[in-house]
Structure formats: C-alpha cells, structure tokens
Structure 1
Amino acid sequence: MKIPELLAPAGNLEKLKMALLYGADAVYMGGKAFGLRAFSDNFEEHELKQGIDFAHSLGKKAYITINIFPHNDDLAALPDYIRTVAAMGADAIIVSDLGVFRIARQVAPALPIHISTQANSTNWSTVQFWQELGAARVVLARELSLADIRLIREKVAVELEAFVHGAMCMSYSGRCLISNYLTGRDANRGQCAQPCRWKYHVMEESRPGVYLPVVEDERGTYIFNSKDLCLITYLPELIDSGLDSFKIEGRMKSVHYVATVIKVYREAIDAYVSAGGAFHFKQEWLEELQKVSHREYTTGFYFNKTTEQDQIYTSSSYLQTHDFIGLVKEYDPATGRAVVEQRNNMKVGEQIEIMQPGRENFVQTIRAMFDAEGHAIDVAPHPQQIITMPVDKPVVPYAMLRRPEAKRGFE
C-alpha cells in the first residue's frame, strides 16, 4: 500500500515545528518574496535554513513556495534567491509560472520542482507536459473530481498532490483579479485582500446610494464566500486514487489550527494503514476539526460539481468550539508540573483539555498556577506570560492547552 505524504502549511518557524511534531511528513513555506501569502509571517532567509534543517533532523521534508506570477521587475532577484534556497537544502520549490520554472532549471538544475495548484492542471495532458519538462510533482487544480484524479493517475508517472483540507477559493484555483481591481493588491503576486469574504449589496444605476440586498436579507450577502474543504471521512477513496501527497491549506492559520488538523489526519491515515486498508471512521476526528477556527465544511469538487450548498451567504465569520490558551515549554516529572507559555487569559478552576503530539488528549481542571517567581496566582492575564502548573498526566514540549469557548463544555 502506498502511504501518501501528509503535507502541512508553515506560516512561520513555530508553526513549522508544530506541524512536523504533530505528524506532518513535510511542510511548505515561503520566504519574504515570491510567494502567494505575502501577509503570512513568512520566513527570513536564516529562518528558512532553520526550518529546512529542523525538518531534516526529523527525517522529513521542506518545500519552498516561489509560486507568484512574476512581472519583469520581479525577475532580477529571482535567480539568486533560487540558488540560495537550493544551497540551503530545500527538498523542492513550488512554482506556478513557466518563466520561473525555466530560471530554476538554469540556475539550480538539481533542485526538484513542484508545479503549484495555481498552474491550473486540470487534465492528464497538462500534467504529462509538466512531467516531460522535468517536474517532480504536480499539485492538481482544486476543481477536479476524484474520478478526474484517478484518470490522471493512470496516464502519468509524475507525483500527484491535492488539497484535502482548508479554505477554498471562489476563483479558478486561486487565479483572481477581484483583489487587484478593488484594492490594488495583486492576488497573483501574494497580496490578496480576500474580497470574496466581504459583504455585498447591489446598487441600481438611477438610485445611487440606495443599496439593495442581493437576497432577502437586510445584512447583505456574502455571494463569493465558500465553505472550507474537509475530506477526513473519505480517506480510503483518496488513498486508493493514487495521490502521492495530501495537502493541508493554511499558512495564515493559527498554531492551534495547524497542530490540530495535522494530528487528526495523521491519526486517520495511520489507522487506515495499520488496519490493512480497513477504515473505521472515528467521529472524534470530525469533532476535533470543529474545535479549530473554520467555516462550515464541504467536499468541494471531489464528488460532484459545487452548488449553492457549498457557499455561505449569511456570514463570513469563522466557527470554532475551543480556544488555544497555552503552550507547554517543559515538564518536570519529579514535581508533575509543566512550564506553560500563556496564549490566552486562563484562570484557576477552569476545565481545560491538553492535546499533545503522538498521545491522547486528556481533560483536567487547572488546580493551581505559579508565576515566574514561584508565587501562586489565580489568573494568567499577560500575553505569553510564563507560568508553572500541576498537570494530571505527563506532557511533552509543544503540548497545547485549550478550553471550550464560553457556554460550551465537555460532553
């Protein structure tokens, strides 16, 4: 059985470490230029090197995004940047543009190239073209069905990657001009303002200033706002399709999001493989995916063409059931105490959940907390405040503390 790679987004160095420790086989990340997530934290050059080295220390891989559609003035610095990335030991670069592909082949001929979903590869002939040019992998367009993917797999030998979880774009594989038109920010050069998530009304030409709702809703409507992709319940079909890599979207998402989503998909893939292909879906996996910030879920284009049921017309807000409140830095088995970096206000007496890589989650009550000087405190209100607290079970560094949102509790 071919086990697909689980590929995680890494918006910064902390997210990269969390993704790999929570079970990702590889990460994709961008530098300060040439990537399509200009408003993510992204990586300075020395951080790219640290990230690549950290991945390699775990026997895992790191891919660098160079997937903008460059204009002439973008090209001057590009050759040196590609040489630098190659010298750092990147396992591949992800590109969308033929010109970038050409330059990469010239200046770093040994560096593997993955073709971004932005290149809109929707058929086997296109994928075969990239294969013949020497691409190592093609990230398929999000508009493909599972049947499309199976046919492409039969026709080509190159590695295939596809998105299985995360935000969807209302434009064709992300190629959008609305942001550029409305704000001057070019989505195809990494500066998308996400106008697809804005609220819209209609204005009739002869009545300027009179805003009419697009549907019968006084708040307006979010006519471009797609639900988020989630395919956790369809892992057998995805694995059987022959995909080489399952990609999670979210370089601008939180540490909590990255760790939780990766842990769920890791557990599900491993459960399928260890059972010899017999897949017993656990409802708790879907419950975990409800805990992080997300929109309502959809299966996208995988099983049918999308309809109005795959859009959200009433709101662009996110859903989540839990808040991330702390990150474990150290654990002392002699005292049973954990050193925790606060990420959200937390108080003695609150019931929390502790999630950690490779182990089961557990619920406990915060019985006590102590500040950096060892004084007992009832509340930790300061951002990134360092506290110690007793925990009911041993924990590891990068374990996460989270609590149900207000008015929610554990079943």
Structure 2
Amino acid sequence: MMQRKLKRPEVLAPAGTLEKLKVAIDYGADAVYIGGDAYGLRTRAGNFSFDQMREGVQYAHARHAKVYVAANIVAHEQDLPGADTFFKNVQATGVDAVIVSDPSLIETCVLAAPGLPIHLSTQASSCNYETLNFWQDEGLERVVLAREVGIDEIREMRQHTDIQIEAFIHGAMCIGYSGRCVLSNHMGLRDANRGGCAQNCRWKYDLFDMPQLGEKHELTGVNPDGKKEAFSMSAVDMAMIEHIPDLIEAGVDSLKIEGRMKTVHYVSTVANVYSAAVDAYMADPDHYQTDPAWVDELWKVAQRGMSTGFYYNTPTEQDELFGEERKRPRYAFVGEVQAYDPATETVTIQQRNNFGVGDQIEFYGPGFTHYAMTVEDLFDEDGAAIERAPHAMQIVTLHCPHAVAPGDFVRGLKVRRHAHVRA
C-alpha cells in the first residue's frame, strides 16, 4: 500500500516571557509567538525587550524552532509614529515573522523591514479563500484564520489557495467575532483591540426583563442543583486534541495554542500533549488513535470546560460557562527539577507552590514522560527535615526512586481542605 504524503504541521505555542519561550520549545513546540514592547494585544503579558527577543531567537534557532512577534493591534493615529523603527528593530533580532492585522502596519513593515515575513493575525477575521488569496497577492506568507471558520471551510480553502494556513486548536475562545469586541471599551474604557481587554465577558451578570417603562423583572438563572446563578457570556475553552487527523488532512500548516498570559505549567503541558499527538499521527496515520492520556493531561491545566468551538457546528449554550460545574483541574504546579542524584535517589526541586510530606505529586517532562509518587520526606537547602515547603522559589530535596531530569516539572494533586464546623 502506498504511503500517503502528509505535511507535518508546526505546533505553535504561546510565550509570554523568555522563560515560557524556552519551556515551550523544550516541551516540543516547533515555534512560539511572543509580544514586543508595543503594538501587541497582550499589554499585561511579560512582553519582550529587543534584547530578550534576540536571546529568545538564538535559543529557538539553536533547537530548530521559530519565533514570531505579534504586532496585531487595530492602530489609531497616535499608534503609528515609531512603527517603522519598531519593525526595523524586530527584524534585527532575527525573528522568523511578525503577526499583523492592520493594513497600515503591514505597509509600514513592508517598507521599513523589507524581507521580514508577515502573517495576518486572526484579528483580521479571514473566513474565505478569496480573502486568503488577496493577502497572498499582497505578499503575506501566512493567514491566521478567524476562530469562526469550520473544518469543511478549511478544506475548501486548501483546494483554492497555497498560502500557509494557521488555525487555533486550543485555548480561550472570545465571545466577540475573532476578538472584535467593544465590551471592554464601553464598560471599562479599555480598548480590547489595542491590548487592554478587561475580560468583561467572563464577569457574572444579573439579567432583567424590562417590557415597559418603569417595569423591571429579574430573570433568575437556576443551575441543575437548583441554586440561583448569575448569567455570563463566557465561552468554554477550545480543545481539538481528539481531532488532530482532521486538522492535518484539511491542510492546516500551523496548529496554534492560545495563552500568552498562561503559566509555564500550562505552556509545558499543552505543548507536550499536542506535539505527542502530531508526532504519533505523522508516524502512522493509518493506525492512529487518540491517546486518552493526552485528554487527561489537558484537564490538569484546563481552566474552563473544553469544546471544539466552531469547527464542526455553531456553538450552543452548552459551550457557555453556565449550569453544572464541569470537570476542573485537580493539579497545581509546585516546582521544577534542578538535579537528580541516582546514587542516593535524591531529587532537588525549586519550589513554585506550597507542597509537603504526604502530598501526591507527579513529575512530567518533554516527550510526555510521567512519574507519580507520594512525598515521604522533605528537606530544606541545609538538609534539615521539614514538613512543608511554603516559600516561593525555595530549594528542597526529597527521595525519589525513579530517575527524573533537570527541567522536568512537578505538579501536586490539589487537596480540598475542609474547615472544622463547630457543634
């Protein structure tokens, strides 16, 4: 039987800081996207200086990975001065592409940094192949599709264009059309399309029926437990881990993970999972099956429920955060392995969150390696026995009969502690 020719898509991970960039690449990402000190939509992320950008590019390129810089705001007049210098400086760091949505910034980049590849941001809401061909004619290398595009539409696009297609496969969904929301502007005077989103759609709201002037009737939401619940516009997160074959067969060139504001726990876990899934499919597409362990792993960092977004149908109220509580993450990120001594079976950990003797912990590392155990002993940096490690960045050691590696992360099983109730 002839083997099918399939192009391996890149796994593109978010990197809000230099640490997250290195973690994403170490845990399998083929590329990362970051923000500079201007023109990006995540002003509260740990955005990169040009020196940090240069260091990140060197780290990535040494490991055959790429770095893209998001400069995807909707620009107003006051945003334009200095854009030419910004793109020149970005190009000088050696990045592989910039992600832009505003035509004025695209033109500025072309003129100021000729030869720097440009990717069209999802903010441009590209939903058809005619649009993709237009931007290809303008010299762009790649288009990041609107999140509202379905898998059948991507297949049709692939038949009519050869521009690179990037699509979101995991992370937060915006209630606005591909991020074109003005709730934050209206309610908090923070421009969501220039990096200041206040996440108003995640808030809880009282809802009233006002049929006539002077009338006001509260509409109370009731969850399955019979308790009153406020209304929200918050969508659950996207997760396409069970549909990797559809994405690859449809011709998606880059599988994008959302989350530049997320933790290293999230970045390492999600990059690890999707890299494992893509590698498995490319190795043997005819016998590929989704590994349930991949899905379980994603639930360890999921902050909301998970759905397939618009890929297979139009989302309904089942894809909103309302009603019965969905499956929630049971693990907390507690540390990073610094060293392992096989002679004494001792692991040295830099603590990130409180953990201690009796806790169940799990080591995980690049290549989807895992080892779970219960903490039986714990020592501080001076070798004194302690019950818990409560101090951030504290160096501790413990007995671990299984070899782990520097750079592996440690997560702890969350234990719900109940307060004593007086009789």
1:298 equivalent in alignment to 2:303: no
Question: Which letter does structure 1 place at the counterpart of 2:84?
Answer: P
Kindly state the Cα deviation for residue 222 of structure 1 after the two structures are TM-superposed.
3.3
Equivalent residue letter for 1:223 = S
Q: Percent identity?
A: 44
* Deviation, structure 1 residue 332: 3.1
Q: Which amino acid aligns with 2:262?
A: K
**1:226 offset after TM fit, Å?**
0.5
Q: Deviations over 1:341-397 (max 9, x none)?
A: 111111123221111112520111223222222222221111111112232222222
2:340 — aligned with what? 331
Contact conserved, 1:213 with 1:219, CA < 8 A, in 2?
no
Residues 267-276 or 87-96, more deviating: 267-276
Q: Deviations over 1:216-254 (max 9, x none)?
A: 567553331111101111111111000000000011111
Moved more, 99-108 or 272-281: 272-281
1:141 aligned residue: 146
1:377 has 2:386 as partner: yes
Which of 123, 127, 141 matches 2:128? 123
Q: Which structure 2 residues correspond to residues 41-60 of structure 1 after superposition, within 5 A?
A: 41-60=46-65
Q: 1:2 aligns with which of 7, 15, 18?
A: 7
> Which residue of the partner structure matches residue 215 of structure 1?
221
Deviation at 1:18, TM superposition (A): 1.1
Deviations, residues 50-85 of structure 1 (Å, cap 9, x unaligned):
211111111100000000011111111211111111
Q: Partner amino acid for 1:224?
A: M
Task: Indicate if the aligned counterparts of 1:200 and 1:220 stay in contact, CA closer than 8 A.
Answer: no
Give the 5 Å matches for 1:7-406: 7-203=12-208, 204=210, 212-213=218-219, 215-216=221-222, 219-314=228-323, 319-406=328-415
Q: CA RMSD in A?
A: 2.0
The residue type equivalent to 2:182 in the other structure is: L
The alpha carbon displacement at 1:206 in A equals: 5.1
SS at match of 1:377: coil
What is the CA–CA distance in structure 1 between the aligned matches of 2:323 and 2:24, rounded to whole Å? 32
Q: Distance in 2 between matches of 1:5 and 1:161?
A: 9
Contact 1:229 1:297 in 2 (8 A): yes
User: How far has the Cα of 1:213 moved from its partner?
Assistant: 3.3
Aligned mates of 1:348, 1:286 — CA distance in 2:
29
**Native 8 Å contact 1:222 1:315 kept in 2:** no
Q: Which amino acid aligns with 1:172?
A: Y
Q: Which amino acid aligns with 2:396?
A: I
Q: Which runs of 5+ in 2 are unaligned?
A: 1-5, 418-423
Q: Pick closer, same or farther for the CA change 1:80–1:317 going to 2, 3 Å.
A: farther
Alpha-carbon distance between aligned partners in 2 of 1:85 and 1:161, rounded to the nearest angstrom: 21
Distance change in 2, residues 1:170/1:7 (3 Å) = same
TM-score when normalising by structure 1: 0.94
Q: What number of residue pairs does the alignment pair up?
A: 407
Structure 1 unmatched ranges of 5 or more = none
The residue aligned with 2:421 is none
CA distance in 1, matches of 2:323, 2:197: 22
